[in-house]
Chain A
Amino acid sequence: MQTTLTETEARDLRALVGQMIPASATYKVPGADDDLIFADILKGLERDTDDARTALKQLATLSGGPFADLPADRRAEVAASFKTEGGAPLFALNRVVLLCYYRDDRVMHSLGQEPRSPFPKGHVVEQGDWSLLDPVKKRAPIYRKVP
């Protein structure tokens, strides 16, 4: 079993993830085909490598050759049908893309999130208005008495 993608597979994958999540000037975010993010995706395939290859094979079949070599409008068309036909292998591949994309510092900043681990700083959660419970406190017991 090959544990890394071939050059052609990697090229197709890069073209595909650029269709999945393109860069956006409006939100000031890179696309998933950005150098750093794509390198993270390749590294992140790990236990999903087999699924990724299966998915990419199907993509190549749908494209009638390398997906990356298709003209832009044809790529969009093929990607759209792949999205509906790709099944579990594509879902596994898509998951890796999302895992890597949504931990990129630039993306997190754009979402108003701090790019850091949860520990040790943690987060603040407001206590809230405990008087909301007052009507519930007034209720009689609701559990069923047993003989």
Chain B
Amino acid sequence: MNEKVDVLIIGSGASGAAVAWSLADTKMRILCLEQGDWVKPTDYPSNGRDWEARLFSDFAINPNRRARETDYPINDANSPIKVVNFNGVGGSTIMYTAHYPRLHPSDFKVKTLDGVADDWPIDYETLEPFFAENDRMTGVSGLAGDPAYPAKQPPMPPIPLGKSGQRFGTAMNQLGWHWWPSDTSIATVDYEGRGRCLNLGHCTPGCAQGAKASTDITYWPMALRAGVELRTRARVREITVDNNGMATGVIYYDAEGKEQFQAAEMVIIACNGVGTPRLMLNSQSGKFPNGVANSSGLVGKNLMFHPYAFTYGYVDEPLDGNHGPPLCLWSHEFYETDKARDFVRGYIFQFGRGMGSIVEAISSTAAGRLPWGEDHHKVYRSLLNHRIYLAGICEDLPEEHNRVTLDPVLKDSDGIPAPKIDYTVGENSRKMLDHAHTRAEEILKQAGAHTVFREHVPNSGWHLLGTARMGTDPERSVVNEWGRCHDVKNLFIVDGSIWVTSGGVNPTSTIQALALYIADAIKQRLANATLFE
């Protein structure tokens, strides 16, 4: 029998780690259950000669391909965008590329400004101190003074421009368009015990140097030192509730596959925009026959990705290839709504360097550029290290038919129903994608690319948002303005599920700032004994 805890957090990724660390100073008994394992830095692919190959096996970004015991399958057949993630301590930050922009002030007021979707019940100003705290905890590199944002001060200098960055910068200046070194969660100097970036160039499937801020090396060591317990190989099947509709704890499967009950005074879900609705929909009871805290019927609905306008080209001069963090610059030139366009909202561009030798070969084979036979070698040499790319991260508007449900057949290794994704790219997003591709082609040509290509990248469901949205109206939202479920007063959600709209930037900086903000709200209400009112 497990002893009851005060706070039970499910999921140890970007948001779970941040909320655990922030709540640790309350001295409550805090436990986090995580279905995956710790990943040792020595296990990361960049330690070995097969570093690129492992992107297609045990470090594949798509869990269906990776298929570790700790992964759960996802039925993504009815979605052109496939969900990618990582399940382990650090969650998907183990696998993220560390591009770390914040949402803009306008993102919180979409309805007011553009008449679409809904406004958030909170704003940028409210989150600002938590953004700053998260930047410090995470260790963000960047450059102050970006005209695309209200003032902010990244604690470390930006990552180098390199050959590709200078090319892009020059091109953007010629076009008169905004660009700036990206905020990245990569240490460019030694930082809080983390070694600085060595330009391994293979950031996505884990950083062997520890320069990339996955939460297993940022928040978790501090949270553990402060007394938080983290139990791995603990896969939660359902959240249990009593007759009063209060959460009592969870049922989970341990490393041996044995069913366990863990009682808790309060439960915080941090399983990401797919894992969270899956867990909630699996938590059915007499009180909540359609899933816990789902009286609105919105759990799982309004799934937002960021349709990804990947565009690339080849230049004559060899550039950086895969050396250095791949994402080095951003442009917010097309971020805010422009009434002259045929869509609302907008996107950032993230500028990339190049590809590793294997990924270049595979991608060029897929595109039909790389022949078999005698010519293979000649053509390949004209491609390798000659590629530059950029991608528009397009704002996806919430649409209820884009959703996560439970698959009637597919189950994980513990027999828990797996999520099913139904998603189509909306009309607004389609127009935005086209705009982003067209602008990207102009940029590439200006940067000297002699040939340019647009590509649909199926495995681009890395941003998982909106499936348990925040709001003040219990009929139109799942959690309130400080992350507490309307229906269950001791159940909280802190991950990307609570997003009202998606913005057009990579979300993790804002996800973590939100988790810190919700932790702070919890602490304030604990102090004045109003937490469960």
Interface residues of A (CB under 8 A from B): 19-22, 24, 26-27, 29, 44, 46-47, 76, 79-80, 83, 91, 94-95, 98-103, 108, 111, 113, 115-130, 132-133, 135-137, 139-147
Q: How far is A147 from B384 in the complex, measured between Cα atoms in Å? A: 49
- Contact B147–A79 (Cβ < 8 Å): no
5 contacts across the A-B interface (CB closer than 8 A): A119-B47, A119-B208, A125-B324, A127-B160, A147-B109
Check if B310 is an interface residue, CB within 8 A of chain A: no
Q: How far is A101 from B172 in the complex, measured between Cα atoms in Å? A: 37
Check if B492 is an interface residue, CB within 8 A of chain A: no
Residues of A within 8 A of B112 (CB): 146-147
- Quick one: which of B22-53 are within 8 Å of A by CB? 44, 46-53
- Contact B381–A111 (Cβ < 8 Å): yes
- Contact A133–B162 (Cβ < 8 Å): no
Picked from B46, B377, B381, the residue with its CB within 8 Å of the CB of A118 is B46
**Quick one: CB contact mask for B45-68 with A, threshold 8 Å, 1 for yes?**
011111111001100000000010
Residues of A within 8 A of B161 (CB): 126-130, 132
- Contact A103–B358 (Cβ < 8 Å): yes
- Contact B52–A125 (Cβ < 8 Å): no
- Contact A128–B166 (Cβ < 8 Å): yes
- Contact A133–B169 (Cβ < 8 Å): yes
Residues of A within 8 A of B199 (CB): 122-125
Check if B123 is an interface residue, CB within 8 A of chain A: yes
Looking at chain A's contact residues, is the secondary structure mostly helix, strand, loop, or mixed? loop
Check if B286 is an interface residue, CB within 8 A of chain A: no
Closest A residue to B366 by CB, please name it.
A91
Interface residues of B (CB under 8 A from A): 44, 46-53, 56-57, 67, 104-106, 108-109, 112-113, 123-124, 143, 145, 147-150, 159-163, 165-166, 169-170, 172-173, 178-181, 197-202, 208-209, 320, 323-324, 332-333, 335-337, 357-358, 361-362, 365-366, 372-374, 376-377, 381, 384
Residues A120 and B209 in contact in the complex (CB < 8 Å), given A99-B358, A142-B336, A146-B108: yes
- Contact A24–B374 (Cβ < 8 Å): yes
With A100-B53, A146-B123 already in contact, 18 other A-B pairs whose C-beta atoms are closer than 8 Å: A19-B373, A22-B376, A83-B372, A95-B56, A95-B362, A117-B46, A119-B198, A124-B323, A125-B160, A126-B161, A126-B163, A128-B165, A129-B166, A132-B173, A144-B104, A145-B105, A146-B106, A146-B108
Q: How far is A56 from B67 in the complex, measured between Cα atoms in Å? A: 25
- Contact A140–B358 (Cβ < 8 Å): no
Residues of B within 8 A of A102 (CB): 52, 357-358, 361
Residues A111 and B166 in contact in the complex (CB < 8 Å), given A118-B200, A119-B200: no
Closest CB pairs A-B (n = 6): A122-B198, A128-B161, A125-B324, A123-B323, A119-B208, A118-B200
- Contact B149–A119 (Cβ < 8 Å): no
User: How distant is A86 from chain B, measured CB to nearest CB, in Å?
Assistant: 11
- Contact A144–B374 (Cβ < 8 Å): no
- Contact B358–A143 (Cβ < 8 Å): no
Closest B residue to A82 by CB, please name it.
B372
Picked from A24, A111, A123, A132, the residue with its CB within 8 Å of the CB of B357 is A111
User: How distant is B143 from chain A, measured CB to nearest CB, in Å?
Assistant: 8
Q: How far is A120 from B47 in the complex, measured between Cα atoms in Å? A: 7
Closest B residue to A46 by CB, please name it.
B57
- Contact B105–A117 (Cβ < 8 Å): no
Residues of A within 8 A of B160 (CB): 125-128
Q: How far is A129 from B163 in the complex, measured between Cα atoms in Å? A: 10
- Contact A143–B106 (Cβ < 8 Å): yes
Closest A residue to B104 by CB, please name it.
A143
- Contact A98–B358 (Cβ < 8 Å): yes
Residues A117 and B47 in contact in the complex (CB < 8 Å), given A123-B198, A136-B173: yes
User: How distant is B392 from chain A, measured CB to nearest CB, in Å?
Assistant: 17
Q: How far is A117 from B356 in the complex, measured between Cα atoms in Å? A: 12
- Contact A142–B372 (Cβ < 8 Å): no
Residues A103 and B50 in contact in the complex (CB < 8 Å), given A46-B57, A119-B209: yes
- Contact A125–B372 (Cβ < 8 Å): no
Residues of B within 8 A of A46 (CB): 57
User: How distant is A102 from chain B, measured CB to nearest CB, in Å?
Assistant: 5
Residues of A within 8 A of B200 (CB): 118-119, 122-123
User: How distant is A78 from chain B, measured CB to nearest CB, in Å?
Assistant: 12
Residues of B within 8 A of A29 (CB): 377
Q: How far is A95 from B361 in the complex, measured between Cα atoms in Å? A: 9
- Contact B169–A132 (Cβ < 8 Å): yes
User: How distant is A115 from chain B, measured CB to nearest CB, in Å?
Assistant: 7
Q: How far is A91 from B367 in the complex, measured between Cα atoms in Å? A: 11
Residues of A within 8 A of B202 (CB): 118
- Contact A122–B209 (Cβ < 8 Å): yes
Picked from A116, A128, A136, the residue with its CB within 8 Å of the CB of B179 is A136
Residues of B within 8 A of A146 (CB): 105-106, 108-109, 112-113, 123-124
Q: How far is A21 from B112 in the complex, measured between Cα atoms in Å? A: 58
Closest B residue to A17 by CB, please name it.
B372
- Contact A103–B49 (Cβ < 8 Å): yes
Q: How far is A120 from B404 in the complex, measured between Cα atoms in Å? A: 41
